[in-house]
Chains A and B, each alone.
Chain A
Amino acid sequence: MSAEGRTPARPKPLGQTIAHVGLALTVAFAGIALGAGYWQVLRSPDLSRAPDNPAVIAAARNVVRGLIVDRDGKVLASNKRSTTTGEPYRVYAHRSFSTVIGYATTDFGTAGLERSWNAELTGVSNRDPIGDVLRKFRSDPYDPQKLTLGISSALQQAAIDGLGDDRGAVVMLDPTTGEILALASTPTYDTNAIANPKTSRDAFAAILDDRSKPLLTRATQGQYVPGSVFKIVTAIAGVGSGKITATTTFANQPAAERDGLVVGGFRIHEHPGVPARSFNLAAATEWSSNIWYALAGMRTGGDNLVTFASRMGFGQALPFDLPTAASQVTGGGGGAPGGFADDTELANASYGQAETLVTPLQMALVAATVANGGTLMRPHLVIATTGRDGTRTIAPEQMAVVIDPDQASVIADAMQRAVESPIGEQFTTGAKVPGVPTAGKSGTAELGGSGAPHSWFIGFAPVDHPRVVIAVIVERGGRGGARAAPLAGDLMALFFKTFGR
Chain B
Amino acid sequence: MTAAAPSLPAILGPIRPRPRGRETRLLVIVAVTILVGSVSLELARRVTDPGESQGLSPANPLHLAIYLGLIGIAHVVLILSGRRMDQILLPATAMLGGISLLLMERLPQTQVVQSVGPWTLGLGDIQLAWLILSFSLATILAVTVRSDRWLRLYKYTWAAAGVGLLVATYFLGDDINGQRLSLSLGPISGQPAELLKVILVVFLAGYLSEYRPLLVEESTKVGPISLPPLPFLAPMVAMWAIALGLVVVQRDLGAALLFFTVFLCLLYAATGRVGYVVVGVVLFLAGSFVMYHLVATVQTRVDIWLDPFKSASGDGYQIVQSLYAFARGGLLGTGLGAGLPTVGGNLPIPAVHTDFPLAALGEELGLVGVMAILGLFLVVVERGLRIAASAADEFRALLAAGLALVIGTQALIIAAGNLKLIPLTGITLPFVSYGGSSLLVNGIIVGLLLALSDRGVEPPPPPRPRSRLARLTGRVTRLETPDRARAPLPPAREPGR
Query: Which residues does A use to contact B, with CB under 8 Å?
Result: 1-5, 7-12, 14-22, 24-26, 28-29, 31-33, 35-41, 43-44, 47-48, 50, 52-55, 57-59, 61-62, 132-133, 136, 139, 141
Contact A37 B367 (CB under 8 A): yes
Count of chain B residues with Cβ under 8 Å from any Cβ of A?
69
**Which residues 453-476 in B have Cβ within 8 Å of A in the complex?**
463
Are B419's CB and A32's CB within 8 A?
yes
Contact indicator A62/B51 (Cβ below 8 Å):
yes
Q: Are B488 and A3 in contact (CB under 8 A)?
A: yes
Chain A residues with Cβ under 8 A from B381's Cβ? 22, 25
Chain B positions within 8 Å of A5 at CB level: 485-486
- A sample of 6 cross-chain residue pairs with beta-carbon separation below 8 angstroms, ordered by A number, consists of A1-B463, A2-B490, A32-B374, A36-B374, A53-B324, A136-B335
Check B175 for interface membership: any CB of A closer than 8 A.
Answer: no
The reply to whether A16 and B213 form a contact with Cβ atoms under 8 Å apart is no
The residue of chain B having its C-beta at the shortest distance from the C-beta of A5 within the complex is: B485
Instruction: Give A16 to B421 CA distance when docked, in angstroms.
Output: 29
Q: Are A18 and B348 in contact (CB under 8 A)?
A: no
Say yes or no: A40 contacts B366, CB within 8 Å: yes
CB within 8 Å of A: which B365-392 residues: 366-367, 370-371, 374, 377-378, 381-382, 385, 388-390
B47 within 8 A of A: yes
Decide: B269 and A9 in contact? CB cutoff 8 A: no
CB of B106 to closest CB in A, whole Å: 16
CB distance from B477 to the nearest CB of A (A): 14
**B302 at interface (Cβ–Cβ under 8 A)?**
no
Q: How far is the CA of A214 from the CA of B397 in the complex (A)?
A: 72
Complex Cα distance, B390 from A136, in Å, reads 47
Query: Is there an interface contact between A36 and B321, defined as CB atoms closer than 8 Å?
Result: no
Q: Which residues of A contact B486 (CB under 8 A)?
A: 5, 7-8
Inter-subunit contact B213/A7 (CB<8 Å): yes
List residues of B (50-95) whose CB comes within 8 Å of A's CBs.
51-52
Contacts A5-B485, A54-B343 hold; do A35 and B419 have CB atoms under 8 A apart? yes
Find the A residue at minimum CB distance from B385. A22
Contact of A40 among B271, B272, B331 (CB under 8 A): B331
Considering only CB atoms, which chain A residue lies closest to B51 in the complex?
A: A62
How many angstroms between the C-alpha atoms of A18 and B404 in the bound complex?
A: 11
Residues on B with beta carbons closer than 8 Å to the beta carbon of A29: 374, 377-378, 408, 412
Kindly state whether residue B218 has any CB partner on chain A within 8 Å: yes
Does B246 reach chain A (CB closer than 8 Å)? no
Q: In the complex, A24→B323 CA distance in Å?
A: 26
Most chain-B Cβ atoms within 10 A of its Cβ — which of A29, A32, A40? A40
The answer to whether B488 touches A18, judged by C-beta atoms less than 8 angstroms apart, is no
The answer to whether B385 touches A39, judged by C-beta atoms less than 8 angstroms apart, is no
Contact in complex: A11, B328 (CB < 8 Å): no
Nearest Cβ on chain A to B424's Cβ, whole angstroms: 13
Asked if B415 is an interface residue, CB under 8 A from chain A, the answer is yes
A11, B213: Cβ atoms closer than 8 Å: yes
Residues of chain A within 8 A (CB-CB) of B334 are 136, 141
In the bound complex, residues from chain A placing their C-beta under 8 Å from that of B367 are 36-37, 40-41
How many whole Å from A4's CB to the nearest CB in chain B? 6
- CB A119 to nearest CB in B, in angstroms, measures 11
Chain B, range 263-285, C-beta contacts under 8 Å to A: 265, 268-272
Across the interface, name the chain A residue whose C-beta is closest to B334.
A136
- With a 10 A CB-CB cut-off, give which of B216, B268, B328, B405 has the most chain A CB atoms: B328
B251 part of interface (Cβ distance < 8 Å):
no
Q: How far is the CA of A17 from the CA of B274 in the complex (A)?
A: 10
Closest chain-A Cβ to B86's Cβ sits at a distance in Å of 15
- Tell me whether B242 is interfacial, beta carbon within 8 Å: no
Give A403 to B28 CA distance when docked, in angstroms. 69
B227 → chain A closest CB, angstroms: 12
| Bound complex: CA A34 to CA B276 (Å) | 29
Q: Check A21–B335 contact: CB distance below 8 A.
A: no
Nearest Cβ distance between residue B229 and chain A, in whole angstroms?
A: 11
Most buried by B among A26, A33, A61: A33
B327 to A54, Cβ gap below 8 A? no
Residues of chain A with a CB closer than 8 A to B409's CB:
25
**Looking across the interface, which residue of chain B has its beta carbon closest to that of A10?**
B216
State in angstroms the CA–CA spacing of A25 and B488 once bound together: 31
Do A21 and B405 have beta carbons less than 8 Å apart?
A: yes
Bound Cα distance A10, B408 (Å): 29
Q: A3-B488, A40-B327 are in contact. Are A9 and B378 (CB under 8 A)?
A: no
- B272 and A16 contacting across the interface, CB-CB below 8 Å: yes
Interface residues of B in 186-231 (CB under 8 A from A): 212-213, 215-218
Instruction: Check if A62 sits within 8 Å of B52, measured CB to CB.
Output: yes
Residues of A within 8 Å of B463, CB to CB, are 1
Chain B residues with Cβ below 8 Å from A31 are 416, 421
**Which are the 4 A-B pairs with shortest beta-carbon distances?**
A12-B272, A47-B327, A3-B488, A58-B341
Neighbouring B residues of A57 by C-beta, 8 Å: 341, 343
A11 and chain B: residue at smallest CB distance: B216
- CA–CA, A435 and B269, complex, Å: 87
Q: Is A54 in contact with B342, judged by CB distance below 8 angstroms? A: yes
Q: What is the CB-to-nearest-CB distance from A318 to chain B, in angstroms, rounded to a whole number?
A: 21
Q: A3-B213, A18-B389 are in contact. Are A44 and B330 (CB under 8 A)?
A: yes
The minimal Cβ–Cβ distance linking A47 to chain B, given in whole angstroms, is 3
Name the distance in Å between A158's Cβ and chain B's nearest Cβ. 41
Residue from B47, B265, B412 in contact with A21 in the complex, judged by beta carbons closer than 8 Å: B265
Inter-subunit contact B327/A39 (CB<8 Å) = yes
Contact A17–B272 (Cβ < 8 Å): yes
B323, A22: Cβ atoms closer than 8 Å: no
Q: Quick check: A58 and B421 within 8 Å, CB to CB?
A: no
- In the complex the two chains form, is A54's CB within 8 Å of B341's CB? yes
Are the C-beta atoms of A53 and B405 separated by less than 8 Å?
Answer: no
Given contacts A40-B362, A41-B367, A141-B334, 18 further A-B pairs with CB under 8 A are A2-B491, A5-B486, A11-B270, A17-B268, A17-B271, A20-B269, A21-B385, A25-B265, A29-B412, A32-B421, A35-B420, A36-B326, A37-B367, A40-B327, A53-B324, A54-B342, A61-B343, A136-B330
- Complex contacts, B420 vs chain A, CB 8 Å: 35, 39
Contact residues of B between 327 and 364, Cβ < 8 Å to A: 327-335, 338, 341-343, 348, 362
- Chain B residue nearest to A55 in the complex (CB): B341
B388-410 contact mask (Cβ, 8 Å, vs A): 1 or 0: 11100010011001000100110
Determine the chain A residues whose CB is within 8 A of the CB of B490 once the complex forms.
1-2
Known A32-B412, A40-B329; judge A47-B342 contact (CB<8 A): no
A41 to B491 CA separation, bound complex (whole angstroms)? 61
Cross-chain contact B389 with A136 (CB below 8 angstroms) = no
Question: A41 and B385 in contact (CB under 8 A), knowing A11-B212, A54-B324?
Answer: no
Q: How far is the CA of A337 from the CA of B409 in the complex (A)?
A: 53
Least CB separation from B324: chain A residue: A53
